[in-house]
Structure 1
Amino acid sequence: MVAEDRQPVPDEPDVDLTRPNAARMYDYYLGGDAHFAADREAADRALARFPHAAGSARANRAFLDRAVRACLQKGIRQFLDLGSGVPTVGNVHEIAHHHDPEARVAYVDNEPVAVAHGDRLMAENPLVTVTLADLRNPREVLAAPGVAGLLDFRQPVAVLMVAVLHFVSDEADPTGIVATYREALPAGSALVLSHISDDQPTEELAAPHRAVAEVYRTSSTPAHLRDYPAIAALFTGFEVLAPGVVDARHWRPDEPRALEQDPCGFYAGVGWLPRPSA
């Protein structure tokens, strides 16, 4: 049974809670509690069309964990998480601080409820900030106090765009957006990215993603499906680490048997800006 919706707290910005939102729906898939009736109703409609949607969300979250660890292994200790969503178990700072308590994490989202939750949870942590901003405006994001005041862009930074660019329309130019962030990064930085797609091995695997995208068109965050070449092109300018841009379940799985599982529908990868050779 789902608890009744809480009342927004005084410091939480006004937001239309009658329209579902992708960040809060994702929180619902992951078992969080920062969602409202409209979010649950839309998420349940998505689950009716694609019963494995929650499992796909968890697989994408597990990719985030592995990718952050890979960045740490590359020596990166700063993270800019764009479209970070509602704080749930397994956030970037939890992963990073498990390995390096001094890692810095700047969260950015344009969903007021997500940011309000994050502000309350991270208020006492000087190494984590939460910023209300739109990733589609890179210069605004990069200049925000919670980003520019925490991260040192003279040192490597991992930019995370996990399960977010499919909410950016073609008209907004997602490739150009990624390029603008890339231009702000020093050598040794990384791009961690995943993106939902109906470009799947079979029509049986592709159809549910189109059905779920139809549900999201009724939300404040419509989804835009892209094919594999368009997603791979987002890594332009980066050296894509092995095993390349692959299904999120198949990106360096902790358990080899994961390679035998059906695709979860998220293409995922990690790109690196190599340091100049000596």
Structure 2
Amino acid sequence: MLPEVTATRYVTPLREGGSLPGIVEADDLGTYVMKFTGAGQGRKTLVAEVICGELGRRIGLRVPDLAGIQLDPVIGLGEPDQEVQELLKASGGLNLAMDFLPGALGFDPLAYEVGPAEAGRVIWFDALINNVDRSWRNPNMLVWHGELWLIDHGATMIWHHNWPSAAASAAKPYDASDHALARFRPDVASAAAELAPLVTEELLTEVAADVPDAWLVDEPGFENPDALRRAYVEALLPRAASIHTRIVLGEPTPDRPSQAPGWLAGRLAPAAPKGEGA
């Protein structure tokens, strides 16, 4: 079960994210990046954040600590931005918090060297969870205290947007040609040998249990939240054993159409050069 805190002050929005996460302070005196149930992407992005974030941490990757965070929308009454006010009003109750890493810098492959072993571990992990949002366009990694940290796992496990085809989707290869770490000669074979044995049925069951029931109810085709949790385990367990044989590392293709879900397409699109569209 995730630890739980209560938001006490909304500090500022983070407009780099498509779901408009915000920095908040909580009753444990901690500062968090908060992701909202009322955001347009829906609660499945929070489910993915929990399962994949906790899985990454438990196999030894650096992912900021996660917590459930209770939100009373009244804390947004003084927020001048109408969009933020509406988001807070739509997100009363339990949301997701990620530990804020003060002073962290966005990953820049030209400024930060990653060894083949670490690059291989990250790419293997992203292949396991089918992360479509760690490309050179949008690395979703931070450098904090000289180390690489992984963030933003809401666009993973895209099969859970269409459970009837989940088994076929989870069996597909993972194209890492445009991955932000592809240039660092990733040692995927060694990563698989190290990490795949750690991804056991027991571990996957534990991380799925961290997802609150409230984010799993009313999923078509599933009787209850535990049945849905089991589906995540059954999708990830066989993939862990064999995905390293289906990772494709080719030449990056900047003009390639996005493979992300439709709601993510705008977020992945390259920004227009300054001066265009003015």
Structure 1 length-normalised TM: 0.30
Structure 2 length-normalised TM: 0.30
